[in-house]
């Protein structure tokens, strides 16, 4: 999320793109984890 904001404010498209990709991956992992599905062979990450 930080890369997304910094890329948007500073105007660096590479940071903005990386921020979007990481945000989408984070949302996908949060949804999978919230449904109780194992991610990477583990049910919980601490």
Mean pLDDT by 10 residues, the chain (46 residues): 82 86 88 78 64
Give the pLDDT of residue 15.
84
CA 23/CA 12 separation, integer angstroms:
17
pLDDT at 43: 64
In a domain, 20, yes or no: yes
Instruction: Specify if 27 maps to a domain.
Output: yes
Q: Which domain holds residue 25?
A: 2-34
Instruction: Dihedral sign for Cα 38, 41, 45, 46, please.
Output: positive
pTM above 0.75, yes or no: no
User: 13 to each of 24, 26, 41, 42, 44, how far by Cα in Å?
Assistant: 17, 20, 34, 34, 34
- The number of folded domains in the chain is 1
Q: Is residue 41 part of a domain?
A: no
User: For position 24, what pLDDT does the model report?
Assistant: 92
Dist. CA 14–CA 1, nearest whole Å:
14
């Amino acid at each position: 999320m930080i890369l997304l904001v910094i890329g948007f404010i500073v105007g660096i498209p590479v940071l903005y793109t990386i921020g979007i990709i990481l945000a989408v991956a984070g949302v996908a992992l949060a949804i999978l984890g919230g449904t109780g599905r194992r991610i990477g062979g583990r049910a919980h990450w601490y």
